[in-house]
Amino acid sequence: MSAPAARVVRRVVVTGGAGFLGSHLCERLLAGGASVICMDNFLTGTPANVEHLIGRPRFRLVECDLTGYVHVPGDVDLVLHFASAASPTDYLRHPIATLKVGSLGTLHALGLAREKGARFVLASTSEVYGDPLEHPQRETYWGNVNPVGPRSVYDEAKRFSESLTTAYRESHGVDTAIVRIFNTYGPRMRPHDGRAIPTFVRQALMGEPITVTGDGAQTRSVCYVDDTVEGVLRLAGSGFAGPVNIGNPSELSMLELATMIRDLTGSSSPITFVDRPVDDPAVRRPDTSLAADRLGWRPLVDVDTGLRRTIAWFERALLEKSRPAS
Ligand code: NAD
Domains within the chain, CATH numbers bracketed: 11-320 (3.40.50.720)
* Per-residue pLDDT at 7: 57
- Averaged over 10-37, what is the pLDDT? 97
* Per-residue pLDDT at 2: 41
pLDDT at 1 exceeding the cut of 80: no
Percent of residues in the chain assigned helix, strand, coil, to nearest 5: 40, 20, 40
CA of 227 to the centre of ligand 1 (A): 17
For residue 168, indicate whether it is catalytic: no
Which one of 91, 129, 154, 224 is the catalytic residue? Answer: 154
Distance separating alpha carbons of residues 160 and 150, to the nearest angstrom: 16
Percent of residues, the chain, with pLDDT higher than 70:
96
pLDDT at 293 exceeding the cut of 60: yes
For ligand 1, atom 33: residue with the closest CA: 86
* Per-residue pLDDT at 6: 52
- Averaged over 29-38, what is the pLDDT? 96
pLDDT at 9 exceeding the cut of 70: no
SS3 assignment for 158-169:
HHHHHHHHHHHH
Query: What contacts 92, CB < 8 A, 6 or more positions away?
Result: 150, 153
Distance separating alpha carbons of residues 184 and 226, to the nearest angstrom: 9
Work out the pLDDT band at 255, boundaries 50, 70, 90.
very high
pLDDT mean across residues, the chain: 93
- Averaged over 40-57, what is the pLDDT? 96
- By most ligand atoms within 8 Å of CB, the mutation choice from 15, 39, 43, 84 for ligand 1 is 84
CA of 234 to the centre of ligand 1 (A): 19
- By most ligand atoms within 8 Å of CB, the mutation choice from 15, 20, 154 for ligand 1 is 20
For ligand 1, atom 13: residue with the closest CA: 83
More confident residue, 186 or 9: 186
* Per-residue pLDDT at 3: 44
Instruction: Please list the alpha-helical segments (H only) found in the chain.
Output: 20-31, 88-93, 95-100, 106-116, 152-172, 196-206, 225-237, 254-265, 289-295, 303-322
Write the pLDDT tens digit of every residue in 121-176. 999 999 999 988 998 999 999 999 999 999 999 999 999 999 999 999 999 999 99
Instruction: Please list the alpha-helical segments (H only) found in 2-84.
Output: 20-31
Query: What contacts 323, CB < 8 A, 6 or more positions away?
Result: none
Would you say the C-alpha torsion 263, 266, 269, 274 has a positive or negative sign? negative
Instruction: Quote the pTM value.
Output: 0.94
* Per-residue pLDDT at 326: 54
pLDDT at 269 exceeding the cut of 80: yes
